[in-house]
Amino acid sequence: MRDGQVVKGVRFRDHRVMGGIMELATRYVEEGADELVFYDITASPDGRSVDRRWINRVAEVLNIPFSVAGGIRSVADAEEVLNFGADKISINTPALAEPGLIDVLAKRFGSQCVVIGIDSHADAGTWRVYQNTGDPDKTSHSGRFTLDWVAEVQDRGAGEIVLNCMNQDGVREGYDLEQLRQVRARCQVPLIASGGAGTMQHFADVFRSAHVDGGLAATVFHSAAINIRELKIFLREQSVEVRL
Amino acid sequence: MITVIDYGMANIGSVVNMLKRIGQESIVSVNPDEIARSEKLILPGVGAFDGAVNKLERLGLRDALNEAALNRRIPILGICLGMQLLLQGSEEGEKQGFGWISGWNRRFQFPECENPLKVPHMGWNKVRAVRPSPYFSADYGEQRFYFVHSYHAVCDSAEDVLAVADYGGEFAASIHRENIVGVQFHPEKSHRFGMKLLSAFAEL
């Protein structure tokens, strides 16, 4: 989201407005989403924090857990987000800049509410972590390799990892199964796959072949190409455990 | 009228919001007199056992809650750590719980293996009622609720267990005795079944 609107880009570029926060959030809850993640993509690149009053409005209507990402750089930021009613905080760029922040947040609030988002890009036969991905002009390689970073954030107390496979983002060609399998093998905490969902079969594939704990998607839900309830019925038919 | 206890150990906002959504009036209070005189209480809680007991004691709420629970015998719902406080104590700390239900809270322990289950137990899980109650109707079919916890209740008497969930073995997801009921999961985060449970408590 950006400036109170839900936006979505393709490979982290060219964001289009998809709808209002409240309208989409309530639709997803009704359809049966298990959890919502709100990314404020303008936050980190501009070096400013988000206006967080919207979290309170969202918390008033949501009866499922939700996390907030974007511009959380300190214990005070995290505290504000949690006090406004978020269940989890998700940290990405600031954790790369200052990995010790993960330890501090996990100690203060508990690992269960500290999610680490990793924007990972396939480069020359390996996967590398990118930062400031909210703004294409500022996006850069962080100097870290994805598999090493996955191990480090867990050591520091991360309670959950969301892996955004950047090559696949917004293009609806399926999750990056190979990368997710490699990360899964090194990830003891819940792993959420992100980037690439285009069809219901893509979800079934990622659960069955990469054994992730959750599938995150934006484009296909925002555009109503996939209805969450129908997706869950489809997954259950494919023997994937889901809440209906 | 439901009184939600705000002792600084929970995000009470979501509980209050959900009560509003199901059309139930509630007040938020930390005042011992008000709490001792209330009609119905919700005791939420997240965090560490001793931290919660210390806060309740510092606020003078132990006596107030004992008065409400044992003398006035009003309905009390404990949520998450609030449920664990209903028991006598916890492996997590040294302090005494309320002991309104006999039992103890134990940490999840799993045998060493290549892929051990993670602690905390976090996420949606199926809950199965083991005795009839207004909270988990058999008509609903499969019911899932949202959990976040590392310790779980072990009741002295199986009679006090209302519902179970499975995480490396069955554990008590909901406990009760007379006017006291507790749920380990978060009804306020558990979508429609959570709201049904809160409605059932509100309508007692």
Supply the ipTM of this predicted assembly: 0.85
Helix axes B12-21, B191-202, angle to 10 degrees: 80
Domain map (residue ranges) of chain A = 5-237
The CATH number of domain A5-237 is 3.10.20.30: no
Residue A213 to residue B123, Cβ atoms within 8 A: yes
Distance from the Cα of A217 to chain B's closest Cα (Å) equals 18
Note the pLDDT tens digit of each residue in A89-144: 999 999 999 999 999 999 888 888 999 999 999 988 899 999 988 778 888 999 99
CA distance to A84, A111, A112, A120, B158, per residue, from A151 (Å):
31, 15, 17, 14, 42
CA distance A72 to chain B (A): 19
Contacts of B185 in chain A (CB under 8 A): none
The torsion region of residue A4 among left (phi > 0), alpha (psi -120 to 50) and beta comes to left
Give chain B's residues under pLDDT 50: none
- Put residue B191 in one of left, alpha, beta given phi > 0 → left and psi -120 to 50 → alpha: left
Grade residue A1 by pLDDT with cuts at 50, 70 and 90: confident
CB within 8 Å: A85 and B190: no
The pLDDT tens digits for B133-150 are: 999 987 777 899 999 999
Of A62, A87, A188, the CB nearest to B118: A188
CB B104 within 8 A of CB B58: no
Best residue in B6, B118, B197 for a mutation probing chain A (most A CBs within 10 Å):
B118
Residue A69: which H helix or E strand, with range?
strand A66-69
Rg (C-alpha) for chain B, rounded Å, is 16
B51 part of contact set with chain A, CB < 8 Å:
no
The pLDDT value recorded for residue B152 is 97
- The strand pair at B161-166 and B121-129 is best described as antiparallel
Predicted pLDDT of residue A130: 95
Active-site residue set of B: 80, 186, 188
Report the gap between the CA of A225 and the closest CA in chain B (Å): 24
pLDDT, one tens digit per residue, over B56-94 is 999 999 999 999 999 999 999 999 999 999 999 999 999
* DSSP β-bridge partners for residue B105: B90, B153
The A residues from 140 to 169 touching B (CB cutoff 8 Å) are 159-160
* pLDDT above 90 for A169: no
A110 closest CA partner among B51, B175, B29, B65: B51
CB B77 within 8 A of CB B41: yes
Of B21, B122, B195, the CB nearest to A112: B122
At residue A57 the predicted structure's pLDDT band, cuts being 50, 70 and 90, is confident
Digit-coded pLDDT (tens) for A12-31: 667 777 678 888 899 999 99
The pLDDT value given to residue A47:
56
| Backbone region of residue A132 per phi and psi (left: phi > 0; alpha: psi in -120 to 50; beta: other values) | left
pLDDT value at A45 more than 60 = no
Q: What is the per-residue pLDDT across A183-218, written as a single tens digit (0 to 9) for each?
A: 999 999 999 999 999 999 999 999 999 999 999 998
Using CA atoms, how far residue A169 sits from A162, A197, A206, B24, in Å, is 13, 8, 15, 43
